[in-house]
Chain A
Amino acid sequence: AQSVTQLDSQVPVFEEAPVELRCNYSSSVSVYLFWYVQYPNQGLQLLLKYLSGSTLVKGINGFEAEFNKSQTSFHLRKPSVHISDTAEYFCAVSDRGNKLVFGAGTILRVKS
């Protein structure tokens, strides 16, 4: 079975500052890793994913994440955030099947 831990429930940051949202996972098999974002009053949408290959994955809106197998982490980063990035971010893992296991989510609050 897989599990996902998002270490921070909320991350406040000022506009144009860098941000990192942390995600650690556990699994006994090879996995796919995802970050989803949920803007207020909207459904979750895919931000980026790691399936194989390069460990640095780039997604939409300037976000990127790095898969670190030895540390079982998949942290999400953005070098300069905007007010519009305020949302809840979910890390998820799949055992390469159809099911996704989600973390508890991290609320990113960007302040001006």
Chain B
Amino acid sequence: GAVVSQHPSWVICKSGTSVKIECRSLDFQATTMFWYRQFPKQSLMLMATSNEGSKATYEQGVEKDKFLINHASLTLSTLTVTSAHPEDSSFYICSARAPTASLGELFFGEGSRLTVL
């Protein structure tokens, strides 16, 4: 199946700094990628839809100036958590829809765990 990779898998940063998480589709081109956030024992919450070459579409309640998404190529989307605070600590997961995938099937990265001190 199609492969989506995230980097880094875990990161620790100081409060007030910015952190960038990369999401790559390794063997297919993804015009659309999705970013999720997962709190412990809670469901994946869709944060935004990342569209190659255009602005991301953010879900209600997600601060677009806080969570910057860039989808500059068909194989890479990045999520930058700006001026991170401890409440931003979470598990961030990206997914992508492959052109040859069956209806409704998404391919997920392994996730990136962010800890803000």
Binding site for B on A (CB under 8 A): 4, 9, 32, 34, 36, 38, 41-46, 49, 51, 90, 94, 98-105
In the bound complex, do residue A42 and residue B110 qualify as a contact, i.e. CB atoms below 8 Å apart?
yes
| Cβ of B17 to closest chain A Cβ, rounded Å | 26
Q: Which 4 A-B pairs have the closest CB atoms?
A: A43-B108, A44-B108, A102-B44, A102-B43
- Cα of A23 to Cα of B100 in the assembled complex, Å: 28
In the bound complex, do residue A105 and residue B43 qualify as a contact, i.e. CB atoms below 8 Å apart?
yes
**A43-B4, A99-B49, A102-B43 as given contacts; A49 in contact with B105, CB under 8 Å:** yes
- Cα of A99 to Cα of B106 in the assembled complex, Å: 10
- Residue numbers in B under 8 Å from A32 (CB-CB): 103-104
In the bound complex, do residue B4 and residue A98 qualify as a contact, i.e. CB atoms below 8 Å apart?
no
Type the 1/0 row for B76-117, where 1 means its CB is closer than 8 Å to any CB of A.
Answer: 000000000000000001010100001111111111000000
**A4-B43, A46-B105 as given contacts; A98 in contact with B110, CB under 8 Å:** no
- Cα of A48 to Cα of B89 in the assembled complex, Å: 31
Known: A32-B104, A46-B106, A100-B34. 11 other contacts (CB 8 A): A32-B103, A34-B104, A41-B110, A43-B4, A43-B95, A44-B95, A45-B107, A45-B108, A90-B44, A100-B106, A102-B43
In the bound complex, do residue B104 and residue A49 qualify as a contact, i.e. CB atoms below 8 Å apart?
yes
28 pairs, A vs B, C-beta closer than 8 Å? A4-B43, A9-B41, A32-B103, A32-B104, A38-B108, A41-B110, A43-B4, A43-B93, A43-B95, A43-B107, A43-B110, A44-B106, A45-B1, A46-B106, A49-B104, A51-B103, A90-B44, A94-B104, A98-B49, A99-B49, A100-B34, A101-B43, A101-B46, A102-B36, A103-B43, A104-B42, A105-B41, A105-B43
| Cβ of B111 to closest chain A Cβ, rounded Å | 7
In the bound complex, do residue A100 and residue B46 qualify as a contact, i.e. CB atoms below 8 Å apart?
yes
